[in-house]
Amino acid sequence: MVAQILETKDQTVVNRLSVSFRLLLALYAIIPFCLFLQLVDTHFFNHYLQQSLPSSPKHFILFQILFGTPHIVASAIILTTNTEYFKFYQFKVITMTIALAVFFALGYQLLSYRVLYIMVASWTVFHVLKQQYGIARGVCRLPSWAFYLQLGLAVVAGIFIYIGIFLNKSLDVQQAEWIKYISGSLCLALFIATVFCHRLVPSLFGQSFMWANTLLVLSSFYLYVQQYYFLAILVPRLVHDATAYIFYVVHDYNRHHEKPQNFLYQWAKNIHIPILLVLPVLSFALAFILQAYGDYYFNSLMSFVFGTEIRKIISLGFLGYLGLMHYYTEAFTWKNGSPYRRFISFSK
């Protein structure tokens, strides 16, 4: 989702549900909650939580099933099961699929793992923060230069934080210190830019949204420096994923509540499953199956048919492909004028 999604409202349909800005802002409550956990663990539990948690939420399959994979699967379901959408975007989808295949085929031969990782990490951070800052721009009504100043500082700071967390074991002491110094300097610049831009936002609600995004980055940096890596990634991950899911569920309800527009919702109607539950139930179920059993059953099939196995073809290959396609398609599917936008409206 990008900044343009909130600049105008499409009134071609009357939606029964709307995306609530207050609900979106409430998701940022994860920031004080994680900071509270860190402080309590540091001062009262002798870092027990820090030592018990993995370095990243991705190391918990339960976390991936709850927060990481479902919204990516849900995005793919919306695009592929609605014929109108897939026909509208099929050229872009096919072109990007080929581009990704060529890039990684050549990349694995020509580039180091670290370079490939940094490139994918940079795209991930850009995708996550572009969504949040894009939504905030519609509420704050910042001038373009102020929006891109904050977004640019946040993304670059986020990239260095991400690298510092996920590549921490492969960095030497000096490299790790430089990563902290650079990300800290960028966070300070982001804070100063937010203070300066504060007066440009006409409403208290808009100012709250702007500061929430700044604190999203600053809190991740603080938790990263304190070596609470799990919490540092959890903060932006939960906000981003939950925000996207709200859009998806609202969209599907408004598209299908009067008359089902695809086979999924027709089946759901036939067996009396409420519309609001269809996408969550299906995407969470698929996320669980793919994460927990996908590699096992795929390798069992490959072993039976071809007598060979391919490691992590589902958990890394297929879900990795869906993730990168998600980053790509979300950049345009929610823009003004897209078929998706006919089924989204907003309320404070």
Question: How far apart are alpha carbons 252 and 124 in whole angstroms?
Answer: 25
Stated as kind and residue range, the H or E segment containing 194 is: helix 173-198
CA distances to 233, 246, 282, 330 from 17, in Å: 31, 11, 20, 21
Per-residue pLDDT of the chain (348 residues; tens, 9 = 90+): 544 444 434 444 454 788 999 999 999 999 999 999 999 999 998 888 888 887 655 555 666 666 678 889 999 999 999 999 999 999 999 999 999 889 888 888 888 888 888 898 899 999 999 999 998 888 888 899 999 999 999 999 999 999 998 888 888 889 889 999 999 999 999 999 999 999 999 899 999 999 999 999 999 999 999 999 889 989 999 999 999 999 999 999 999 988 888 888 999 888 888 888 899 899 989 988 888 787 777 778 777 677 676 777 777 788 889 999 999 999 889 888 889 988 988 888
Radius of gyration of the chain (CA): 21
State residue 190 phi and psi, 5-degree precision: -65, -40
> How many Cβ atoms sit within 10 Å of the Cβ of residue 42?
14
